[in-house]
Amino acid sequence: MADNGRRNEADAPFPLQGGRLIRRFLPLVERLHLAGTERDRAGNRQLFFDQYLSLLLLYFFTPSIKSLRALQAATNWEKTRQKLGIRRTSLGSLSEATRVFDASLVVPIIAELAAQALPLKQGREAEALKGLTAVDGSVFSALPRMAWALWEDKTHRGAKLHLHFDVLKGVPCAATLTPAACSEPAELARTLQAGRLYVLDRGYASYELFAQIVQAGSSLVARVKNTTVFVAQEERPLDAAAQKAGVVRDVVISRLGTAHHKDHLRRPMRLVIVRVPNRDGKMIELWLLTDRLDLPADLVALAYRYRWTVELFFRWMKSVLGARHLVSQKQNGVTLQMYAALIVSLLIILNTGRKPTVRTYETLQFYLLDWVTDAELDQHLASLQKISG
């Protein structure tokens, strides 16, 4: 590494087995190299932003590394340092990194990687549900001494990851991290994007939020309470596809709520009522509100069914990637860890063209350890193509 903190050609990171896995990541993260070094006028910094992100990727891709201390110990080995283009790193430097490296600078990297992903589905559904984005939040338990993460009481702390998941691509496309005691509708309102079809559960039921989504240039399919008051404008007939999907009513409504409530939306909306079995086999009704008057009723029902993809992704993060084990006590540090987990997931999807699975994740871990050859990896990826075909 040159004294000014910039890389020499010989210091380029990842001259390692598995370089093809992270080649999409390198040019994006390289631009963060000097971020956070503004106060280091003496040029004494040993760990740079892109290197810290690389170490976090190493944490997720290496089965034996399960703690911050283990990650620090990995930097003691010469081959590891050569492969990552880093120096020996102390626990103090890793701890300092969570303070000086701004996690918000990683957000564009996640967005750019997500934009590179191709739709996993084609045809009528994919075209009609373009931009379908499932949104939800999930709590990651924190240590009692993490005061910023106060949740239920002084002994129960938690961080909440608010995730936007592009359903048709099968990738996370945006995320923020807050204390667990946070309003999910308010956080979504703060992070709305244009051109999305947001699918939301009842926890996001807010007429004001629905209006903000429409004003942002997006649409919604949101579950509302079965006691929602509305004024019907037009009853729509149900075709065979709608009836097969369990739709029992499709109605255009002129107003939500009573005349005593503020009309936030000020436009015709649509209510699609679907009868489905719950986990106990009992039939229940889902009241789905949408501004998409053009969308066939069966696809409104299907859009809501896809909401579960974000739940499955949270399960992947916690149970397979191991993101529930926090390596930092600071909010910015936890955010960096979660963003690294999203980047790992994106890299797997971009390299396989498929949703990540346990077996694929294990194969890639062994590949990065040089225990799986290029040919064997290609064979595994080819088998995924056959299964999907």
Regarding whether 255 and 331 lie in a shared domain, the answer is no
Mean pLDDT score, 64-71: 89
- Whether 338 maps to a domain, the answer reads yes
Burial class (CB in 10 A: 0-12, 13-18, 19+), 114: buried
**End-of-domain residue from the set 292, 310, 337:** 292
- Whether 119 maps to a domain, the answer reads no
Domain of 287, in residue numbers: 206-292
- How many angstroms separate the first and last alpha carbons of the chain? 47
Regarding whether 368 and 281 lie in a shared domain, the answer is no
CB 86 within 8 A of CB 54: yes
- Whether 261 maps to a domain, the answer reads yes
Degrees, nearest 5: CA angle 243-246-252:
75
92's tokens: 């103090």
- Whether 171 maps to a domain, the answer reads no
**363 versus 9: which is more confidently predicted?**
363
Q: What is the number of structural domains in the chain?
A: 2
Lowest-pLDDT choice from 15-19, 141-145, 344-348, 359-363: 15-19
- Whether 27 maps to a domain, the answer reads yes
| φ/ψ (deg, to 5) at 211 | -65, -40
pLDDT for position 357: 87
**Distance in angstroms (rounded) separating the CA atoms of residues 30 and 322:** 26
Mean pLDDT score, 375-383: 87
**End-of-domain residue from the set 292, 307, 342:** 292
Mean pLDDT score, 149-164: 85
What single DSSP character describes residue 123? S
Mean pLDDT score, 75-92: 86
Regarding whether 286 and 240 lie in a shared domain, the answer is yes
- Whether 282 maps to a domain, the answer reads yes
Regarding whether 337 and 263 lie in a shared domain, the answer is no
Helix or strand or coil: residue 45? coil
| 175-208 tens-digit pLDDT | 999 999 999 999 999 999 999 999 999 999 999 9
**215 versus 373: which is more confidently predicted?**
215
CB 33 within 8 A of CB 54: no
| φ/ψ (deg, to 5) at 256 | -100, 140
pLDDT for position 19: 61
93's tokens: 């430097």
**Distance in angstroms (rounded) separating the CA atoms of residues 111 and 257:** 37
- Whether 351 maps to a domain, the answer reads yes
**Distance in angstroms (rounded) separating the CA atoms of residues 144 and 96:** 21
**Distance in angstroms (rounded) separating the CA atoms of residues 213 and 220:** 7
Report which residue type is found at 253: I
- Whether 357 maps to a domain, the answer reads yes
Regarding whether 358 and 281 lie in a shared domain, the answer is no
**End-of-domain residue from the set 266, 292, 318:** 292
Tell me the pLDDT band of 70, cut-offs 50, 70 and 90.
Answer: very high
Q: Where are the alpha helices (DSSP H) in the chain?
A: 26-30, 49-61, 68-74, 78-84, 91-100, 107-116, 124-128, 184-190, 207-215, 240-244, 297-305, 308-315, 331-352, 358-368, 374-388
